[in-house]
Amino acid sequence: MSKELSLQETGSLLMAAQKIVLCTHVSPDGDTLGSSLGLAKFLLQRGKEVIVFCDDLLNKSFSFIPGLELVQRPEAGTVVEADLLVVMDASSFDRIGIVGEVVKYQQLLNIDHHISNTRFADYLYLNAKAAATGEIMCELFQAMEWPITKEMAECFYIAISTDCGSFRYGNTTPKTMRAGAWLLEQGVQPNEISDKLEMKSRLTMEMLAKVLPSLTFEAEGKIAYLTITNDIYNKEANTDSFVNYPRYIEGVEIAIMFKAVEKKVTRVSMRSSNVDVAQVALSFGGGGHIRAAGCTIYAPVEEAREQLLAELRKLV
């Protein structure tokens, strides 16, 4: 069980540490990367020793995030000592891959906004009402009166935009908008960020063209899903947005994307208009938010699909 911290206590814990490792979750997205890099830039300015770890490949589509060159992949068998390990935007310890083994830390802090948070860290700052961990970063900087640069602001704007669909999803609150406004006041150009977030490689578009024919409906059209089979899967493509295609179809309540990342490993992304998909993801060892959640099922894609659909059919 974690000790829950206030923003002030979270800021003080960060300031008290000298050697800090920040880490993202695996399958990194704009929120975990932007939040970690914006905070890393600030801590570096404060003279801290900072490492940013991500135990996964970084898709080329993220190369525009300021400071991305700071991100390192931890090597199995190595040891990194730290006063503080900060897990950003991850709701469970398994979401950080081998970082938990490589880093020998004195204290573990988790900053997160997932309702499915498992309270694994010594210290936790959790705000499940925040649209993104990037929104929490804005509140932290404001509460601590930490100076913010344009680059840090860009990182947090990328983080927030990613998780609230550029301020369109149901998790967008007045606070989310105020955080966005504050970041614009620091010089962020929203069109520049949104152009870069929307940009897709040709490879990604070609993969989408191969994946769309797999669109399948279930439960009288209340469930729709796409499947990326082993032969189509290419880790260089960024498939994060693909689940939006089944999502915005009339009558669809739950949209799913199944991705065969290995012969017996299937990544699942779920989106819903109302049904609590975080609960379903949790029951498969994953997590997320009520309307956006995911999990990894250790089975071939057809089998994983049957297992998950059996649960989802009960809900619609």
Binding site for ligand 5GP (CB under 6 A): 25, 27, 91-92, 95, 114, 116, 240, 269, 286-289, 292-296
For ligand 5GP, give the closer residue by CB, 17 or 26.
26
For ligand 5GP, give the closer residue by CB, 61 or 92.
92
Instruction: Tally Cβ neighbours within 10 Å of residue 120.
Output: 19
Question: Using an 8 Å Cβ cutoff, are 153 and 183 in contact?
Answer: yes
Question: Using an 8 Å Cβ cutoff, are 267 and 284 in contact?
Answer: no
For Mn ion, give the closer residue by CB, 132 or 282.
132
* Residue 14 partner contact from ligand 5GP, Mn ion, none using kind-dependent CB cut-offs of 5 to 8 Å: none
Two structure tokens written together for 22: 């920040």
For ligand 5GP, give the closer residue by CB, 154 or 163.
163
Part in contact with Mn ion (CB under 5 A); list of ranges 55-63, 157-165, 209-217, 276-284: 157-165
CB of 281 to Mn ion, least distance (A): 14
In whole angstroms, how far apart are CA 2 and each of 118, 119, 137, 148, 279?
9, 5, 20, 29, 21
Task: Kindly tell me which residue out of 38, 163, 197, 308 binds Mn ion, with binding defined by CB under 5 A.
Answer: 163
* Residue 291 partner contact from Mn ion, ligand 5GP, none using kind-dependent CB cut-offs of 5 to 8 Å: none
For ligand 5GP, give the closer residue by CB, 148 or 268.
268
- Cα torsion through 58, 60, 64, 66, rounded to 10: 20
CB of 229 to ligand 5GP, least distance (A): 18
Residues 67 to 126 in contact with Mn ion, rule: CB under 5 A = 89
Residues 20 to 49 in contact with Mn ion, rule: CB under 5 A = 31
Distance of CA 197 to the CA centre of its chain: 14
Two structure tokens written together for 289: 């938010």
Q: Closest Cα partner for 43 from 65, 59, 25, 20?
A: 20
CA angle 234, 306, 286 (to 5 degrees): 65
Residue number of the CB closest to Mn ion reads 31
CB of 133 to Mn ion, least distance (A): 5
Residues 6+ apart with CB under 8 A from 302: none
For ligand 5GP, give the closer residue by CB, 23 or 148.
23
Question: Using an 8 Å Cβ cutoff, are 131 and 169 in contact?
Answer: yes
CB of 149 to ligand 5GP, least distance (A): 27
